[in-house]
Amino acid sequence: MTSAETSTDTPHIVICTTGGTITASTTSDGAVIAGDSDPATAAMLDQLRSVLPGEIRVSARAVLDADSSTFGPAEWDLLVDAVSDVLADPDVTGVVVTHGTDTLEETAIALDLHHDDPRPVALTGAQRPADHPEADGPANLLDAVLLAADPVSRDLGVLVVLGRAILQARGVRKWHTTDPVAFARNSPDHPVEGLPPELERPTLTGRARFADVRVDVVACPPGSDATALHACVSAGARGLVLEGSGSGNLPPEVAGAVAQLAEERPDLVVVATSRVPRGEATATYGGHGGGAELATRGVLSAGYLRSGQARVLLAALLSTTDGAGADAAADVRRQWDRYHLYS
């Protein structure tokens, strides 16, 4: 993405639409349906223009039109390309992406890993459909556009804007299924030394192609065996994100399978994260399946990322690392601590 400077006298914000609840409608039996939302999108943009300050110009670009629960690596690739294409125009001040909330956290980090442009990119959406009597989408969209037009938002990377909250992409996750304040950010209680942690957001050295790399997430609740893990490996996964307990600890049978894979499949990269909503996944505990023991097998800790964003980051690093096999996996392990949150 370019690093072009743009005028802030007459800000031009491009809204990339992808469907989602913000333009969804409700059927007679109460089901919320996203997709086929051209009329709702047009009405949303008309309403936005009626309340925006006159000096802010907005235009729209349709990228996708679906419920974001259907999005995956191919859609992340499409959105990274779309935002990059929009920012190739030096007259654009910033970008807003309207997006369903189900998978917004994955799209946010996929974009942020590539976003080395000072101009802001704001993701927003809604928890209530467009035809709800208390729809939250219009206010969220207005907030996102105003933020993207404000010079104070430059150099902060990709931002998530919902329910009056403004959050940076890395470490963000959906924390509530229905509350208008849909997202929270998992981060340290105290900033690390040096630059404020929100400014330490290295971007990838190349363009990731998410659809080309299989990375699977495996839930590892207490007492689970390694059946799902082996199935993912057999299906061709190059990386695994294992969702354990506590600070990233795994059940004994899963830990045994990980130890075996470390010997037999040095080309496979394994990351441990936690099912706990807040706090850091770390290589702290000893014993079979503890994070410290896993680290001796080459298992990486996800830090403040949870499984969704850890999967995106691991896929990105695997995609942008030259070659394949054990050497490529070792290179990803060396890079990991540079990119995961607050390493």
Question: Beta strands 183-185 and 172-174: pairing type?
Answer: antiparallel
On average, the pLDDT of the chain sits at: 92
- DSSP 3-state of 320: helix
- DSSP 3-state of 276: coil
Percent of the chain with pLDDT over 70: 93
Percent of the chain with pLDDT over 90: 87
Tell me 191's DSSP state. Answer: P
> How far is 74 from 336, CA to CA, in rounded Å?
23
Model confidence at 202: pLDDT above 60: yes
Model confidence at 189: pLDDT above 70: no
- Give the domain ranges of the chain: 12-185, 210-339
Domain 210-339 class, CATH top level: alpha beta
Q: How many helices (H) and strands (E) does the chain have?
A: 9, 14
Structure confidence at residue 188 (pLDDT): 77
CATH topology of domain 12-185: Rossmann fold (3.40.50)
> How far is 124 from 131, CA to CA, in rounded Å?
17
Structure confidence at residue 2 (pLDDT): 39
101 a catalytic residue: no
Structure confidence at residue 31 (pLDDT): 95
Model confidence pTM above 0.75? yes
Find out whether 314 and 110 touch, Cβ atoms under 8 Å: no
Highest mean pLDDT among 8-12, 119-123, 184-188, 190-194: 119-123
Model confidence at 120: pLDDT above 70: yes
DSSP letter string over 60-129?
EEEEEEE-GGG--HHHHHHHHHHHHHHHTSTT--EEEEE--STTHHHHHHHHHHH--SSS-EEEE--SS-
Which range among 76-80, 200-204, 289-293 shows the weakest confidence by mean pLDDT? 200-204
197 CB-side CA count, 13 A: 21
Structure confidence at residue 1 (pLDDT): 42
Structure confidence at residue 339 (pLDDT): 86
Catalytic pick from 17, 21, 98, 103? 21
> How far is 226 from 85, CA to CA, in rounded Å?
43
Q: Do domains 12-185 and 210-339 have the same CATH topology?
A: yes
For tokens 């495996």, name the residue. Answer: 218
Sorted by sequence, the CB contacts under 8 Å of residue 208 that are 6+ apart come out as: 80, 110, 113, 114, 315, 316, 317, 319, 320
- ∠ CA 154-156-160, nearest 5°, is 110
